[in-house]
Amino acid sequence: MFTFTIRRLTLAVPTLLFISLVIFLLLQLAPGDPMAQVPLTVPPEVKQKMREALGLGEPMHVQYLKWLRQFFWIEPLNLFDYMFGTGLAEGELRVISWQTRSPVVDIVVQRLPQTLWVVGMAYVVGILIALPIGIISAYKQYSMFDQVGTFVSMVGFSIPPFFSGVLVIVIFSVQLGWFPSIYDTTHVVNDWASFKVQLLQMFLPVMVLALQITAQISRFMRASMLDNLNQDYVRTARAKGARERVVVLVHVLRNSMIPVVTVIALGIPSIFGGAIITEQVFKVNGIGQLLITSIEANDLPMVQTLTFIFAILIVLFNLIADILYGVLDPRIRYD
Amino acid sequence: MLDDADRPLVSVRNLKMHFPIYGGLMRRRVGEVKAVDGISFEIFEGETLGLVGESGCGKSTVGRTILRLYEATAGDVIIDGKEIAHAEPEELRRMRPTMQMIFQDPQASLNPRMTVRDIVGEPLREHMALSNTELTDRVHQLMDQVGLNRDFADRYPHEFSGGQRQRIGIARALALNPKFIVCDEPIAALDVSIQAQVVNLLEELQDRLGLTYLFISHDLSMVRHIADRVAVMYLGQIAELAPRDALYEKPLHPYTEALLSAVPEPDPTIAAKTERIILTGDVPSPSNPPTGCNFSTRCPKVMDICTRETPTFREQEPGRFVACHLYNSEQTSAANAASEVNKSIQQGEET
């Protein structure tokens, strides 16, 4: 297992380098000019100088290598400096956002908590709802519960958050007035009352996202449970005289969790990616919102960095899912 | 062995297992598969009852329904003096130690994520209060009994060969000292060389532990080897039930006769002489069995009455039961005569 992990991590390096090249080239080839927002009264020579100041005058491979150096060397050094108070990266140019002129990583670090709170909480809530639903609807296949569960999953799958988000805002904030429609990022939790406010403002976005996650994972759980419920070893367990609870929870559930855990692990990078639409609907100042505004403003370094961070997370969690699979299923060996 | 067995350990009365078929838009019940359609038999303590028949005739369903792995549609099953077919779940669970099953597919019937220790030890943990060391001792003892190396206790099923896996299945079945074991084609998934080993192991365990078996198989020679009495099934019903030697020497039911004639004969000179009875046609669908005798559509000795009336399953000779109109002397001879007369009249008209 250890050698497998090391081998996979080593293999991840060329993969990530290739991804970084693809991202870089795609963004270079994409139309759009960072100077588009600059007023027309600014003469073209000045604009050209501004472009060169941003590093756009250099040949493409130089730009790429410079970005690589900044991302893989200078930014980690900065993080190291920040954590241990050293001065290793002093005087080096960091990846700077064209929009805000501040280091990209700093902005990401500012935005991440909001996203992790809202989207991460939605993921946890979604899983906690999905697993029991999946288990029960498989155990009582074609029952009323199963039919309702199937219907709700279908709704969750098919209604996009830009509709369900607006719908719950209309119902619960506008008509009923139970929850605020806007997520206030500046809200500070320091006592019981402010914690309650935080809960209230998180409720709607979390539920809108959780509906989708629940739909997906409960279907998966159900299919996996059904697959295992009909296996011969379940009949063996019953013939042994095991309690029904033991049969379902020990034999069937434990074996059904293998693919579900993998799916859950593979979904974690999407938490960091934020939920672009839902964040936009509820005005959550998170990563998804950051990405969409950067794309609109042609903020190449920001888009490039964010996309690449997502790529790293996806590669990493793929590896984690593979390792989990090996841990959970004794039939799979990685050596 | 029949004579020294005094009381039936298992008695099955008019057992029926019909599986519903759902169809249509609203998934309404549109019919049923009559996998087991009214069978009765008894198994005496210490004996092996062989249950044979072609695939799809309901052999495995009988085994599973007797142990109530399926909910029987109708009928009674009494094992060791206790009613199984209608017992409450908790009561049934407490009866499980008496009756166990060895499954057909040793690969699929073992939980892939459990070690041998867990698989064999689980019934002990469920039904007895044993300390960890006692449990390990018992698991080791069972592994010795079935001829598995003790060092393999912490391995997973996929790390074993087919024969070894079946031994794990047997050890598991033996864990709670059962009296009655249903062997559901325990050797069908095994290599021929391993089959003999497993069957010998089963016989040895029977002698040592005084077990009673219901041995389900489609392998007639293997049943001849292991069984004391043999029941022949056709389309959800028992056609004939008789002591082994009597059945193999002189089968009464035409189906048994046809089945036995299909057993390959190793001696070529005898093989050349024996005439094989080839049945024509297919087995009718168990969801729509023929009226009268189930075998009437393929029977070489079919009579008029066979398509009209279901033959009763009755004792023809002491210990020999058969469901066939040929032996239903009182009514049949009359019906036979009538059909003969009919035939001659028809022939007479033709000529």
In order, the DSSP letters of A17-86 are HHHHHHHHHHHHHS---GGGGS-TTS-HHHHHHHHHHTTTTS-HHHHHHHHHHIIIIIHHHHHHHHHH--
Tens of pLDDT along A14-51? 999 999 899 888 888 877 777 777 777 888 888 888 87
Mutate which of B101, B113, B128, B170 to test chain A, going by most A C-beta atoms within 10 A? B113
Query: What is the per-residue pLDDT for B3?
Result: 47
Average pLDDT, chain B: 85
Q: Taking CB atoms and an 8 Å cutoff, what residues of chain A touch B106?
A: none
Tens of pLDDT along B216-238? 998 888 899 999 999 999 988 89
Is pLDDT of B333 > 80?
A: no
Place of tokens 């034999």: A251
Secondary element (H or E) of residue A169 = none
The dihedral built from the CA positions of residue A256, A259, A263 and A265, taken in this order, carries a sign that is positive
Q: Domains of chain A: which residue ranges?
A: 107-328
Query: What is the per-residue pLDDT for A331?
Result: 80
Asked which of A76-80, A110-114, A149-153 is least confident by mean pLDDT, the reply is: A76-80
Is pLDDT of B60 > 70?
A: yes
ipTM beyond 0.90? no
Is pLDDT of B351 > 50?
A: no
Q: Taking CB atoms and an 8 Å cutoff, what residues of chain A touch B100?
A: 239-240
> Nearest by CB to B93, which of A231, A243, A254?
A243
CB pairs under 8 A between A and B: 68
Between the alpha carbon of residue B6 and those of residues B2, B3, B44, the distances in Å are 8, 7, 7
> Nearest by CB to A240, which of B64, B123, B156?
B123
CA-nearest residue to B67 within chain A is A239
Query: What is the per-residue pLDDT for B29?
Result: 83
A330–B108: do the CB atoms touch at under 8 Å? no
Band of pLDDT at residue B52, cut at 50, 70 and 90: very high
Band of pLDDT at residue A145, cut at 50, 70 and 90: very high
Q: Return the percentage of chain B with pLDDT > 70, whole number.
A: 91
Is pLDDT of B334 > 60?
A: no
B158–A331: do the CB atoms touch at under 8 Å? yes
Q: Tell the burial category of B263 from Cβ atoms under 10 Å away from its Cβ (0-12, 13-18, 19+).
A: middle
Is pLDDT of B304 > 80?
A: yes
The pTM assigned to this predicted structure is 0.78
What is the identity of the amino acid at A145?
Answer: F
Query: What is the per-residue pLDDT for A202?
Result: 87
What's the Rg (C-alpha) of chain B?
23
Structure tokens at A320: 């984690």
What's the Rg (C-alpha) of chain A?
24
Query: What is the per-residue pLDDT for B349?
Result: 45
Calpha distance B215→B224 (Å, rounded): 11
Mutate which of A240, A251, A332 to test chain B, going by most B C-beta atoms within 10 A? A240
Beta bridge partners of B234: B237
Residue predicted with more confidence, B51 or A117? B51
Is pLDDT of B214 > 90?
A: yes
Tens of pLDDT along A318-333? 888 888 888 888 887 7
Asked which of A103-107, A272-276, A324-328, B27-31 is least confident by mean pLDDT, the reply is: A272-276
A142–B69: do the CB atoms touch at under 8 Å? no
Q: Taking CB atoms and an 8 Å cutoff, what residues of chain B touch A255?
A: 111-113
Query: What is the per-residue pLDDT for A305?
Result: 87
Query: What is the per-residue pLDDT for B162?
Result: 86
CA distance B344 to chain A (A): 57
CA distance B52 to chain A (A): 22
CA distance A147 to chain B (A): 13
Q: Taking CB atoms and an 8 Å cutoff, what residues of chain B touch A324?
A: none
**Sequence-distant (≥ 6) Cβ neighbours of residue A252 within 8 angstroms:** A225, A228, A229, A234
A233–B69: do the CB atoms touch at under 8 Å? no
Tens of pLDDT along B248-294? 888 989 999 888 888 887 788 887 877 788 888 888 888 888 888 88
Query: Across residues B89-103, what is the average pLDDT?
Result: 89
Is pLDDT of B188 > 90?
A: no
Band of pLDDT at residue A199, cut at 50, 70 and 90: confident
A236–B122: do the CB atoms touch at under 8 Å? no
A255–B112: do the CB atoms touch at under 8 Å? yes
Place of tokens 């532990």: B209
B109–A233: do the CB atoms touch at under 8 Å? yes
Q: Please state the φ and ψ torsions of residue A56, each to the nearest 5 degrees.
A: -80, -15
Nearest residue to B299 via CA among B283, B322, B321, B315: B283
Q: Which residues of B138-150 are buried (b: 16+ CB within 10 A; e: fewer)?
A: bbbebbebbebee
For residues A115 and A96, is the Cβ–Cβ distance under 8 A? no
B69–A243: do the CB atoms touch at under 8 Å? no
Kindly state whether A226 is in contact with chain B, defined as any CB-CB distance less than 8 angstroms.
no
Nearest residue to B47 via CA among B5, B102, B97: B5
Is pLDDT of B327 > 90?
A: no
Query: What is the per-residue pLDDT for A18?
Result: 92
Asked which of A41-45, A58-62, A269-273, B207-211 is least confident by mean pLDDT, the reply is: A269-273
Calpha distance B176→B173 (Å, rounded): 7
In order, the DSSP letters of B30-80 are EEEEEEEEEEEEEEETT-EEEEE--TTSSHHHHHHHHTTSS--SEEEEEET
Query: Across residues B18-47, what is the average pLDDT?
Result: 86
Q: How many CA atoms lie within 13 A of A244 on its CB side?
A: 5
Q: Return the percentage of chain A with pLDDT > 70, whole number.
A: 98
Query: Across residues B12-25, what is the average pLDDT?
Result: 87
Tallying the residues shown for chain B, one arrives at 351
Calpha distance A114→A198 (Å, rounded): 11
- Which one of A68-72, A89-93, A114-118, B71-75 scores highest in mean pLDDT? B71-75
In order, the DSSP letters of B271-310 are HHHSPP-PPPS-PPPTTSPPSS-GGGGT-TT--HHHHHSP
Structure tokens at A76: 């980690």
For residues A260 and A224, is the Cβ–Cβ distance under 8 A? yes
For residues A150 and A237, is the Cβ–Cβ distance under 8 A? no
Band of pLDDT at residue A335, cut at 50, 70 and 90: low
Is pLDDT of B144 > 80?
A: yes
> Nearest by CB to A236, which of B89, B109, B158?
B109
Query: What is the per-residue pLDDT for A131?
Result: 92
Q: Specify the CATH class of A107-328 in words.
A: mainly alpha
Mutate which of A143, A233, A244 to test chain B, going by most B C-beta atoms within 10 A? A233
CA distance A243 to chain B (A): 7
Calpha distance B154→B134 (Å, rounded): 16
Kindly state whether A280 is in contact with chain B, defined as any CB-CB distance less than 8 angstroms.
no
Mutate which of A143, A144, A150, A236 to test chain B, going by most B C-beta atoms within 10 A? A236
Q: What share of chain A is helix, strand, coil (3-state, %, to 5)?
A: 75, 0, 25
Asked which of A167-176, B161-170, B272-281 is least confident by mean pLDDT, the reply is: B272-281
Is pLDDT of B2 > 60?
A: no
Query: What is the per-residue pLDDT for B329?
Result: 59
Band of pLDDT at residue B332, cut at 50, 70 and 90: very low
Kindly state whether A141 is in contact with chain B, defined as any CB-CB distance less than 8 angstroms.
no
Asked which of A100-109, A229-238, B329-338 is least confident by mean pLDDT, the reply is: B329-338
Query: Across residues A261-273, what is the average pLDDT?
Result: 83
CA distance A246 to chain B (A): 9
Q: Which residues of A239-253 are buried (b: 16+ CB within 10 A; e: fewer)?
A: bbbbeeebbbebbbb
Is pLDDT of A128 > 90?
A: yes
Calpha distance A258→B309 (Å, rounded): 55
A235–B69: do the CB atoms touch at under 8 Å? yes
Secondary element (H or E) of residue A10 = helix A2-29
Is pLDDT of B348 > 80?
A: no
Q: Return the percentage of chain A with pLDDT > 90, whole number.
A: 11
Is pLDDT of A126 > 80?
A: yes
Q: Which residues of B make CB contacts under 8 Å with A? A: 27, 64, 67, 69, 89, 93-97, 100-101, 103, 105, 108-113, 122-123, 126-127, 156, 158, 169, 172, 176
For residues B291 and B25, is the Cβ–Cβ distance under 8 A? no
